[in-house]
Amino acid sequence: MLPTPRADLKPNTFEYETIPLVKPTGFREYDARWVLEKEINLLGIQALGLGLGTYVQEIGVKPRIVVGHDFRSYSLSVKQALIVGLLQAGCEVLDIGLSVSPMAYFAQFALDAPCVAMVTASHNENGWTGVKMGAQAPLTFGPDEMGRLKQIVLGAEGVARPGGRLEQVENFAARYLDEVSQARVSRPLKVVAACGNGTAGAFAPEALRRMGVEVIEMDCTLDNTFPKYNPNPEDHAMLKEMAKAVKEHGADVALGFDGDGDRCGVVDDEGEEIFADKIGLMLARDLSALHPNATFVVDVKSTGLYATDPVLHANGAKTVYWKTGHSYIKRKTAELGALAGFEKSGHFFFNPPIGRGYDDGVVAAAAVLQMLDRNPGKKLSDLKKALPVAWTSLTMSPHCDDERKYGVVEDVVREYQDFAAAGGTILGRKIQEVITVNGVRVALEDGSWVLVRASSNKPELVVVVESAKSEDDMRALFRDEVKPRLARRAEVGAYNQEI
C-alpha cells in the first residue's frame, strides 16, 4: 500500500520519490486540478486512482471505468500513474488513449462503463494537470463525491483489491466522430474551426466537415506548448484571432474549442464575439419553437435576458438559473429533464433528442450550425441583433489563493447583503435582490447586475457584470463598483483580463 499522502514534499528528494505528494486544495468542487510536481507527484496521482477505485467500490457501482488523456507533454504519464492506482483498486480499466473529454463521456455509453476518469487540465496553463471523474453517466462528480474522494485519498483509506484489468480500446476516435457528425447541414456555410493547438484540433475539424460545411482550420495542429495562447474560447486573445480569421476568409462563423473539447466559443460573420450565454439564448429561442414549453438551465454568470425574453415567453419556455460549473449545470439539467443547459464559459448540455446530457463542444457547434440551417437567409449576426439588448462583460478573474478565495467571497457576500439592507445604491440604482446561490449576484432595479464568486478550478475569483443601459455603464459597473470593492482586500491580486 502507498504511504499516507503529504503536502510538503520537495522534488529531488528521497521522500518525493517514495511518498505521495497531494495538496488538499486540488480537490475542487467538481473535478481535481493541481500544478504537477509542485502540488502533486506521480505517486500522488496513483493514490488518487486507488482512492477513486475505492470510492467506486464503496458506492456499489460496477468498477468498470473509461480513461483518456489530453494533449499535454505529461498527460500520458499522469494517466498511466492513475491507471496503476485504479488497477490496484480492482477496477476494469478501458483506456481510449488520446481524447477530448466528451469522447470519454461518450465512451461510458458506447462501452457500457458506468465510470470515467479523464486526465485533463482543460484550458489551464501548462504545468497544470487534473482529472474529471464520474460514476453515473452523463453526470460528473460534485462537491459530495469530491469531498468523500478527498477524505479517502488524504486519509490513505484506499483499499487494494484483486481483479484489476486493463484493456486498450483501439481507434475509439472513429466511433466518436461517427456519433457527433450525425448532424447534417444543408446550407452552404464557411466555418473557422479554432482549436488553439489543443486536443480538439485532432477531431473537431473532421467532425465539422462530415456535417457538410466548409472548414477553415485555425491553430488545429497539436502543439502542447500552446505557442500563441491557451486554448480557451472565453479569453480575449483567442476570440481576437477568431475574429481576424472570420474577416480574412469571409466566414459565416468561427467556432472555438477549449483544450479538452468540452466547450465552444462563437464569433459571428461580422467578427464580433458572442458570449456563450447569448448563444444559449439564441439556441433557446430556436429550440423552444421546435419543443414548446421546454425548460432551460443557465448559470448565474449568464445574462438576465432569459427571464424577460418575449420569444421564450411566447413559446412557453421556462428558465432556471443555477450554480456555475459544468457538474452543477449538467446535474440540474438532468434533474429537471431540461432540454438544454447553458453556461457562460461555453459549456452546453443537450438532453435527448439533441444530445446525451454531457458537455461536448462539437455537439454545441452542430447546434449552432443547425440553427443557421433552420434560418435561411439570416446570418448569425442577424440572429444576435434580434435579441433584446444587454451589455455583458467577459469573465474576469483576479488571482486569489485557493486557501483564501472562499473566505474572501463569504466576506463580499456579507458586505453586499449589509449594503442592500442599509438601502445602498450602485451607480444611482437601488439593489433589487442579492442572490447567493453561488457567490453573490447583485441585481439592480433596471435589470443590471454584478457577480462575484470563487473559481471552482483555479486560485482565482470570478467577476462578471451586465448593464441594461449601455456599454459604458457596463464598464463603469466594473471600474467604479466591483474592482475597487475587491481591491480593498489584500488577498485579491491581478486580473487575467479586464474590460
pLDDT, tens only, 343-354: 988 999 999 999
b or e along 303-325 (b: 16 or more beta carbons within 10 Å of the residue's beta carbon)?
A: bbbbeebebbeebebebbbbbbb
CB 115 within 8 A of CB 140: no
State residue 16's pLDDT score: 97
What letter does residue 197 receive in the DSSP assignment? T
Task: Check residue 398 and give its pLDDT.
Answer: 97
Cβ neighbours for 333, distance < 8 A, ≥ 6 positions apart: 297, 340, 341, 349, 351, 357
Helix (H) or strand (E) holding 340: strand 340-342
Cis omega (within 30 of 0) for bond into 138: yes
Taking the model in full, what pTM does it have? Answer: 0.89
Q: How confident is the model at residue 499 (pLDDT cuts 50, 70, 90)?
A: confident
Q: CA 226 to CA 213: how far, in whole Å?
A: 27
- Which grid coordinates are listed for 46? 496513483
pLDDT digits (tens, 9 = 90+) for 69-87: 999 999 999 999 999 999 9
Please, what sign has the CA dihedral across residues 21, 22, 25, 26? positive
The pLDDT of residue 235 is 87
For residue 102, whether the previous peptide bond is cis, meaning omega lies within 30 degrees of 0, is no
Nearest to residue 445, comparing CAs of 419, 427, 460?
427
Cell numbers for 344? 457562460
What pLDDT score was predicted for residue 462?
95
Whether the CB-CB separation of 465 and 459 falls below 8 Å is answered with no
pLDDT at 153 over 80: yes
Cell numbers for 60, please give them.
Answer: 456499489
What does the pLDDT average to over 209-214? 98
Q: How confident is the model at residue 437 (pLDDT cuts 50, 70, 90)?
A: confident
Q: How confident is the model at residue 308 (pLDDT cuts 50, 70, 90)?
A: confident
Q: Is 337 exposed, middle or buried (0-12, 13-18, 19+ CB in 10 A)?
A: exposed
Residues 6+ apart with CB under 8 A from 187: 372, 373, 376
- What pLDDT is stored for residue 267 in this prediction? 98
Q: pLDDT category, 106, cuts 50, 70, 90?
A: very high
Q: What is the mean pLDDT of residues 344-373?
A: 96
Examine the pLDDT at 181 and tell me if it is beyond 80.
Answer: yes
24-59: per-residue pLDDT in tens?
999 998 899 999 999 999 999 999 999 999 999 999
The pLDDT of residue 473 is above 80? yes
- Encode 482-494: b = buried (16+ Cβ within 10 Å), e = exposed: bbebbeebebbee
Dihedral over alpha carbons 135, 78, 265, 315 (to 10 degrees): 0
How far lies 72's CA from each of 78, 360, 387, in Å? 10, 20, 39
| Angle, alpha carbons 40-41-47 (nearest 5°) | 85
E strands present in 362-483: 391-392, 425-426, 429-435, 440-444, 449-454, 461-467
Q: What pLDDT is stored for residue 269 in this prediction?
A: 98
Three-state DSSP state, 249:
helix
Confidence of residue 282 (pLDDT cuts 50, 70, 90): very high
Q: Hey, what's the cell of 121? A: 487540465
Q: Which helix (H) or strand (E) holds 109?
A: helix 101-110
Which residues are CB-neighbours of 474 under 8 A, at least 6 positions away? Answer: 391, 392, 393, 448, 465, 466, 467, 499
- Active-site positions? 122
Give the percent of the chain with pLDDT over 70. Answer: 100
Is the separation of the CB atoms in 277 and 302 below 8 Å?
yes
Q: Is the pLDDT of residue 1 over 80?
A: no
pLDDT greater than 90 at residue 97: yes
The predicted pLDDT at position 339 comes to 98
CA–CA dist 313, 262 (Å, integer):
30
Q: What pLDDT band is residue 123 in, cutting at 50, 70 and 90?
A: confident
| 3 state SS of 101 | helix
Query: For residues 262 and 118, what is the distance between their CA atoms, to the nearest angstrom?
Result: 12
Cell of 209: 466537415
Any idea what DSSP says for residue 12? S
3-state DSSP percent of the chain in helix, strand and coil, to 5: 35, 25, 40
pLDDT category of residue 307 using cuts at 50, 70 and 90: confident
Average pLDDT, the chain: 96
Domains and CATH numbers, the chain: 24-172 (3.40.120.10), 181-388 (3.40.120.10), 391-487 (3.30.310.50)
92-98 and 32-35 as β-strands: parallel, antiparallel, unpaired? unpaired
The arithmetic mean of pLDDT across residues 114-134, rounded, is: 95
Q: How far apart are CA 496 and CA 466, in angstroms?
A: 19
Q: Compute CA 305 distance to the chain's CA centroid, rounded to the nearest angstrom.
A: 22
Specify whether the CB–CB gap between 279 and 256 falls below 8 A: no
